[in-house]
Amino acid sequence: MDRFKAILVERDEAKKQSVRVAEIGPEDLMDGNVTVHVDYSTVNYKDGLAITGKLPVVRRWPMIPGIDFAGRVVSSDDPVFKPGDEVVLNGWGVGEAHLGAYAQYARVNGDWLIHKPEGLSPAECMMIGTAGYTAMLCVLALEKHGLDPRMGPVVVSGASGGVGTVAISLLAKLGWHVIAVTGRTSEADFLKSLGAAEIIDRAELSETPKLLAKERWIAGVDTVGSTILANILSMTTGEGAVAACGNAQGMDLPTSVAPFILRGVSLLGVNSVTVPREKRIQAWERLATDLDKDKLKALTTEIGFDDLIETAKAITEGKVRGRVVAKIG
């Protein structure tokens, strides 16, 4: 391994944050038992926060952002992986507490990796990325709860974002009547092309939530949190459930116990960071079979390494639609 490019997020003594492209060597990587040549990564909302510093997601300085990658094993002391294996990583503090994917090489713990699923290329894995993987975890949570398309509609908030767009595509292909909630109603045609049957302006769900409102859906995938999630819960049909995986609007939840004890609604928390390997493999195998690749490509923009910083800034400003795949290596 020669020296290679990496994006570094740094902080000075006054805790002022900066970002730059640097040249580093293998000796600069952190401890781990598997070294991977990073072929592709993506730009998630969390990556945008790490690069801009709008929220304190970085827990180690300096940091290489990038919370997921697809690549090839260069060296391994883990018996599960050997040089040349194609692998995928999502989460585990990479890009936050452990040096991440925005470099041509990464050294990580083998427990954090899975083999690339059959039927998906490395680029397609990062078209899906942590956002699409999280969407699949939400679908699995709803299915585990016993919900299916015959029971009624499903609502998806943050519909124009990474998780939302993949969730719409997945749910539509599985036969759900999908109601998409977005603050960008100009994207209605795009969301319908992914499979959304109805579009709701986010403003409809931004008012002060009622304890219980008119029942409108049996299931939900929420990426926003706060008031939007509270309204979704208040409008969920009895014995329904909402899978919650994001907090773009806030960490608070201004609701009451009413939906839970008077309608039997369930709130299903979805963690995509520290998921057991068996469940990660299940999610990725389902993505390989359940996701329409043509729709995946339609909602994806490809960028190069040199575009990462500006794209990360744009995603925190709500200027990125769908998924972004970044060619790193």
Taking Cα atoms as reference points, which of 198, 185, 167 lies closest to residue 287?
A: 167
pLDDT value of residue 158: 94
Taking Cα atoms as reference points, which of 87, 22, 16 lies closest to residue 53?
A: 16
Give the Cα separation of 237 and 219 in Å (integer): 8
pLDDT, average across residues 221-234: 97
Q: Quote the percentage of the chain above a pLDDT of 90.
A: 90
> Does 130 score more than 80 pLDDT?
yes
pLDDT range class, residue 153, cuts 50, 70, 90:
very high
pLDDT range class, residue 274, cuts 50, 70, 90:
very high
pLDDT value of residue 296: 87
pLDDT, average across residues 68-89: 98
Per-residue pLDDT of 106-129, as tens digits, reads 999 999 999 999 999 999 999 999
Residue 102 one-letter amino acid? Y
Q: What is the domain class of 4-116+299-327 according to CATH? A: alpha beta
Dihedral, CA atoms, 106, 108, 114, 120, nearest 10 degrees? -10
Contact 95, 46 (CB under 8 A): yes
Q: Quote the percentage of the chain above a pLDDT of 70.
A: 100
pLDDT range class, residue 322, cuts 50, 70, 90:
confident
Helix-then-strand count for the chain, H and E: 9, 15
pLDDT, average across residues 6-11: 97
pLDDT range class, residue 281, cuts 50, 70, 90:
very high
Tokens of 190: 């795009």
Question: In the chain, where does the domain assigned CATH 3.90.180.10 lie?
Answer: 4-116+299-327
pLDDT value of residue 55: 86
Question: In the chain, where does the domain assigned CATH 3.40.50.720 lie?
Answer: 130-269
Strand pairing of 68-76 and 323-327?
unpaired
pLDDT range class, residue 321, cuts 50, 70, 90:
confident
pLDDT range class, residue 2, cuts 50, 70, 90:
confident
Tokens of 244: 């919650």
Q: What is the domain class of 130-269 according to CATH? A: alpha beta
Model pTM score:
0.92
Whole-number average pLDDT of the chain: 95
> Does 1 score more than 80 pLDDT?
no
Tokens of 37: 């040549």
Give the Cα separation of 323 and 301 in Å (integer): 6
- Work out the burial of residue 257: count CB atoms within 10 Å of its CB; fewer than 13 is exposed, 13-18 middle, 19 or more buried: exposed
Contact 127, 76 (CB under 8 A): no
